[in-house]
């Protein structure tokens, strides 16, 4: 009887949890930015049309071009006839009209301007077709195995598909490594062309959801309503992806459900060793010891119920033999929670530097010095 009652309680708990994260969209996913941990997933690998959420990749490649020096925010971009012919969401660029990269990024992020997305693509790669090749190459590098891009905008095209999981991957890459994108994705209202063109963000969460940081909406007749929504609270940023929502309002409601679930149930903790990590002796090394450092930056995603009363145990190798490469394993920092000592994380301790092996002559000279000192 006791086992039956316990089983019923467990089922009820699971059912309650399921209701707490119930979303109507056929595909959805919730990811934590820092660790990449997936907190919720529903049909996350089914290939679907992403509509303008495609532009997350367009924005990523644009930000990477800025970081590499290929572009600057002040670079002037000239609109081609092809870019001006896009249709759909746009700011009605005229052929040969010029805008800065800064202005075009704003237009893409705030009103999902297809004409500006293609103009940026052509500026970066020479043509939209060449840019799409880069999009697909970058997707492969990120492990987006469900994705094939056919254009830089997300306008309907045969074979242009991705998945909720892949959208989360490229969204994470953008917000994790290019936080400056927030200066565009958090705009609610703005203008271009000296105030002549009014912009209102297609992502209403930017105005109405606490901590919203972006990211990108999308909709077409076939894709229905899609969204990659990002928000940050208490130092933790979450990415909620919705695909094929029935209505615009429903996609935002689903995203809020996922974000609320994540913020209510999880917290991001920075683990710092309670005492300095002792250097590990190195046999036959060019230096006597190697300093261990925390792997993964010490970021630890925990259920809130397990985040209090954390304890640490450090296990280090007694010694290692040279050569030691940067990132070689030296031990483990184990994190436990509660009186029962439940293990919640095992963080690798890695070599923070290289230690080459002694050469024959270095070993010979060291032996001589040891002999003289002994005398």
Q: How many whole angstroms separate alpha carbon 143 and alpha carbon 232?
A: 25
Structural domain includes residue 55: yes
Q: Can you give the CATH number for the domain in which 313 is found? A: 2.60.410.10
Q: How many domains does the chain have?
A: 2
Residues 175 and 302 in one domain: no
3-state SS assignment for residue 364:
helix
How would you write the pLDDT of the chain (375 residues) with one tens digit per residue?
333 333 333 333 333 343 468 999 999 999 999 999 999 999 999 999 999 999 999 999 999 999 999 999 999 999 999 999 999 999 999 999 999 999 999 999 999 999 999 999 999 999 999 999 999 999 999 999 999 999 999 999 999 999 999 999 999 999 999 999 999 999 999 999 999 999 999 999 999 999 999 999 999 999 999 999 999 999 999 999 999 999 999 999 999 999 999 999 999 998 899 999 999 999 999 999 999 999 877 888 999 988 888 999 999 999 999 999 999 999 999 999 987 789 998 999 999 999 999 886 766 666 666 666 655
pLDDT of residue 371: 64
User: What whole-number distance in Å separates Cα of residue 219 and Cα of residue 217?
Assistant: 7
Same domain for 193 and 144: yes
Peptide bond into 246 cis (omega under 30): no
Q: Do 284 and 250 sit in the same domain of this protein?
A: no
Range of the domain at 311: 280-357
Structural domain contains residue 244: yes
CA distance 165 to 230: 14
Count of residues making up the chain: 375
* Same domain? 74 vs 166: yes
Collect all residues with Cβ–Cβ distance below 8 Å to 6 and sequence separation of at least 6.
none
With 0.85 as the threshold, say if the pTM is over it: yes
- Same domain as 294, residue 211: no
Report the catalytic residues: 52, 55, 112
Residue 339: the pLDDT is 76
Eight-class DSSP state of 53: G
- Spatial distance between the Cα atoms of 47 and 162, rounded to a whole number of angstroms: 5
Determine how β-strand 212-220 pairs with β-strand 280-283: unpaired
pLDDT at 109 (0 to 100): 98
Same domain as 288, residue 246: no
Please answer whether residues 119 and 77 qualify as being in contact, where contact means their C-beta atoms are separated by less than 8 angstroms. yes
Question: pLDDT per residue over 98-115, tens digit each?
Answer: 999 999 999 999 999 999
What whole-number distance in Å separates Cα of residue 368 and Cα of residue 15?
Answer: 73
Please tell me whether residues 184 and 323 are part of one structural domain: no
CATH, residue 99? 3.40.710.10
Within a domain: residue 306?
yes
Alpha helix stretches (DSSP H) within the chain: 2-20, 55-68, 81-84, 101-111, 114-125, 128-141, 164-177, 182-185, 205-208, 248-265, 360-374
Distance of CA 359 to the CA centre of its chain: 43
Question: Are 116 and 34 members of one domain?
Answer: yes
On whether both 228 and 158 belong to a single domain, the answer is yes
Residue 328 included in any domain: yes
Tokens of 173: 């890459």
Q: How far apart are CA 79 and CA 95, in angstroms?
A: 5
User: Are both 308 and 189 inside the same structural domain?
Assistant: no
Q: Are 93 and 84 in contact (CB under 8 A)?
A: yes
Tokens for 82, please give them.
């092809």
Q: Are residues 255 and 291 located together in one domain of the fold? A: no
């Amino acid at each position: 009887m006791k086992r039956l009652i316990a089983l019923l309680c467990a089922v009820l708990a699971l059912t309650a949890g399921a209701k707490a994260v119930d979303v109507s969209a056929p595909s959805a996913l919730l990811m934590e930015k820092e660790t990449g941990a997936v907190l919720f997933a529903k049909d996350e690998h089914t290939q679907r049309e992403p509509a303008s959420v495609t532009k997350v990749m367009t924005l990523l490649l644009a930000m990477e071009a800025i970081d590499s020096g290929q572009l600057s925010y002040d670079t002037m971009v000239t609109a081609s006839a092809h870019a001006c012919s896009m249709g759909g969401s746009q700011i009605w660029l005229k052929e040969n009209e010029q805008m800065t990269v800064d202005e075009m990024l704003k237009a893409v992020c705030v009103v999902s301007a297809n004409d500006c997305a293609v103009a940026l693509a052509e500026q970066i790669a020479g043509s939209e077709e060449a840019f799409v090749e880069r999009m697909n190459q970058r997707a492969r590098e990120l492990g987006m195995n469900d994705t094939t891009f056919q254009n830089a905008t997300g306008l309907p095209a045969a074979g242009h598909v991705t998945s909720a999981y892949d959208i989360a991957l490229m969204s994470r890459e953008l917000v994790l490594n290019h936080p400056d994108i927030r200066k565009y994705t958090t705009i609610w209202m703005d203008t271009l062309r000296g105030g002549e063109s009014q912009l209102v963000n297609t992502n209403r969460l930017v105005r109405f959801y606490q901590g919203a940081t972006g990211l990108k909406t999308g909709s077409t007749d076939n894709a229905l309503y899609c969204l990659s929504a990002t928000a940050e609270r208490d130092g933790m940023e979450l990415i909620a992806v919705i695909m094929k929502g029935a209505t615009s309002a429903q996609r935002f409601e689903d995203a809020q459900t996922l974000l609320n679930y994540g913020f209510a149930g999880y917290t991001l903790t920075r683990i710092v060793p309670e005492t300095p990590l002792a250097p590990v002796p190195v046999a036959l090394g060019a230096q006597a010891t190697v300093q261990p450092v925390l792997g993964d930056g010490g970021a630890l995603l925990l259920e809130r119920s397990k985040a209090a009363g954390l304890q640490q145990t450090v296990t280090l190798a007694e010694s290692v033999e040279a050569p030691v490469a940067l990132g070689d394993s030296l031990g483990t920092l184990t994190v436990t929670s509660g009186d029962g000592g439940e293990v919640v994380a095992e963080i690798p301790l890695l070599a923070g530097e290289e230690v080459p092996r002694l050469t024959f002559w270095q070993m010979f000279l060291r032996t001589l010095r040891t002999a003289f000192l002994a005398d």
